[in-house]
C-alpha cells in the first residue's frame, strides 16, 4: 500500500499548481529555474511522518507546499519541545543545508501535507550562481532569526492568550509563509499542539482575540484581521464568549 512506503519512496515530480506555491522559483533566471525544476521533488507526507529526523545527514532543502508541519526536539528528560509550526509557502533548514550538518530537530507532519525538496548540491549551485536566490536565502535567515528570538520571548510568557496570539502571528508570517494568506488553515487541536496548551484553553484565547477584532474563527481555520495586534500581544478580555469548537 502507498502508506507503507517512506516519504522518500513516495517522492515524485511536482505538478504545475504545486510549483506555483514555491516562492523562490520566481526570483530565478530562466537557466537557473530550469536547473531547479530538473531536481525538485515533492512527496505526500501522511500525519506522523518525519520529514527530517535528529541526527540524520541533510539531503534536501525542504518546503511546505500544502498542509502543516511542526519543528521540535526531545529534551534529555524525554519531553518534546516544539520550536515552530511550518505552514504553506515556508522553506526551512537553510542553515543546516548551508553547513551540510546533521539535523538538530525533527520535522513532522501534523496532517496530510505536500512537502517539496531541493537536493543539497543543487541548493549550493544556485547559491553560487544566482543573486536572486542568494537574496531569498538571506531574507529567510534574517526572518528566521527574528522568529526564534520571538519564540524565546513566547516561552517566558505566562498569559495563555498572549502565547496563542504570538504563535498565530508567527504562523502567518508573510515572509516565511507566503502561501498562507489571510486564512490559516488549522484546527484548534493542531494549534494546541504547537502552543503547548490544552484545546479548551486555546479555544478561550481564540474567543478573546476574536472579541477584540484581531481574528475571526471560521470553519477549518482562523482569519487574521489585525496582524500587528497579534504581534504586539495586546489581548483584552471582552465578555465571556467562547470560540466555536
Burial of 124 (0-12, 13-18, 19+ CB in 10 A): middle
In the chain, what's the furthest Cα-to-Cα distance?
58
CATH 1.10.10.10 positions along the chain are 158-232
Q: Cell 497579534 belongs to which residue?
A: 230
CATH 2.60.120.10 positions along the chain are 2-152
Of residues 9 and 140, more confidently modeled: 140
Q: Which residues pair with 113 in a beta bridge?
A: 45
- Output the pLDDT for position 1: 43
CATH topology of domain 2-152: Jelly Rolls (2.60.120)
Instruction: Express each pLDDT in 156-179 by its tens digit.
Output: 666 888 889 988 999 999 999 999
3-state SS class at 25: helix
Sign of CA dihedral 168, 177, 60, 131: negative
CATH topology of domain 158-232: Arc Repressor Mutant, subunit A (1.10.10)
Instruction: Express each pLDDT in 83-135 by its tens digit.
Output: 889 999 999 999 999 999 999 999 999 999 999 999 999 999 999 999 999 99
245/232 Cα distance (integer angstroms): 26
Residue ranges in the chain assigned as alpha helix (H): 16-19, 30-39, 94-99, 120-129, 131-155, 160-171, 188-195, 199-211, 227-232
Instruction: Express each pLDDT in 61-79 by its tens digit.
Output: 999 999 999 998 876 666 6
Global pTM? 0.84
Of residues 145 and 101, more confidently modeled: 101
108/227 Cα distance (integer angstroms): 26
Amino acid at each position: 500500500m502507498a502508506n507503507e512506503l517512506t516519504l522518500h519512496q513516495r517522492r515524485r515530480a511536482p505538478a504545475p499548481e504545486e510549483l506555483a506555491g514555491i516562492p523562490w522559483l520566481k526570483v530565478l533566471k530562466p537557466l537557473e529555474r530550469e536547473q531547479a525544476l530538473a531536481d525538485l521533488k515533492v512527496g505526500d507526507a501522511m500525519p506522523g511522518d518525519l520529514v527530517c529526523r535528529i541526527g540524520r545527514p541533510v539531503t534536501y532543502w525542504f518546503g511546505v507546499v500544502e498542509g502543516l508541519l511542526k519543528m521540535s526536539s526531545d529534551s534529555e528528560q524525554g519531553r518534546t519541545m516544539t520550536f515552530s509550526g511550518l505552514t504553506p509557502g515556508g522553506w526551512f533548514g537553510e542553515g543546516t543545508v548551508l553547513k551540510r550538518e546533521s539535523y538538530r530537530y525533527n520535522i513532522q507532519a501534523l496532517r496530510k501535507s505536500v512537502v517539496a525538496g531541493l537536493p543539497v548540491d543543487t541548493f549550493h549551485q544556485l547559491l553560487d550562481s544566482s543573486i536572486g536566490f542568494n537574496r531569498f536565502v538571506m531574507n529567510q535567515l534574517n526572518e528566521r532569526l527574528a522568529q526564534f528570538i520571538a519564540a524565546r520571548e513566547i516561552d517566558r510568557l505566562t498569559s495563555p492568550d498572549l502565547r496563542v496570539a504570538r504563535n498565530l502571528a508567527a504562523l502567518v508570517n508573510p515572509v516565511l509563509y507566503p502561501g498562507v494568506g489571510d486564512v490559516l488553515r488549522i484546527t484548534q487541536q493542531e494549534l494546541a499542539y504547537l502552543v503547548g496548551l490544552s484545546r479548551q484553553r486555546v479555544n478561550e484565547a481564540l474567543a478573546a482575540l476574536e472579541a477584540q477584532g484581531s481574528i475571526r474563527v471560521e470553519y477549518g481555520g482562523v482569519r487574521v484581521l489585525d496582524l500587528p495586534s497579534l504581534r504586539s500581544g495586546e489581548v483584552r478580555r471582552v465578555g465571556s464568549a467562547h470560540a466555536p469548537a
